[in-house]
Amino acid sequence: MTPPSPPTPTLRRRALKLLTSGHYDISTLKITFAEASSGGTEMCHVRLSCTATFRGDVYPVALAFDLASKTFCGPPKSLGACVTSCVICSHMVGELVLISIIQSCTKSLEQLKLLLPEPVLEMQALQVP
């Protein structure tokens, strides 16, 4: 299997914008361990909800990691709900960056949640005075 292509500068910019604009809700973080059906390797799936950029839709982005080699597995093992997630998309790259922040952070998830941007849907739900 060929690894996914490296992200383009535009894709990286969009991923950073998603992350800094509160499109990920860290309270939806779910981690699942499973054995891959092809090859029997043990996998870890990290799943987060991501709010679409222009619509208010929220959809899951699930990234897969091979635990034996400690590597990221691109699609089809990693999945997003958008059209471009069959290759790799800004939603996946943004989640990869967020996962690396979580891994390197010494704070609890609750403390980290306070440091991250407010989820965009919570901001939209606030009444404008």
Q: Does 85 bind Zn ion (CB under 5 A)?
A: yes
Site residue total, Zn ion (CB under 5 A): 5
Q: Does 82 bind Zn ion (CB under 5 A)?
A: yes
**In whole angstroms, how close is the CB of 99 to Zn ion at the nearest point?**
15
Q: Does 14 bind Zn ion (CB under 5 A)?
A: no
In angstroms, rounded to a whole number, what is the distance separating the alpha carbons of residues 30 and 59? 13
Q: Does 91 bind Zn ion (CB under 5 A)?
A: yes
The half-sphere exposure of 99 on its side-chain side, counting CA atoms within 13 A, is 20
Residues 6+ apart with CB under 8 A from 35: 41, 42, 43
- Residues lying near Zn ion in the complex (CB under 5 A) are found at 80, 82, 85, 89, 91
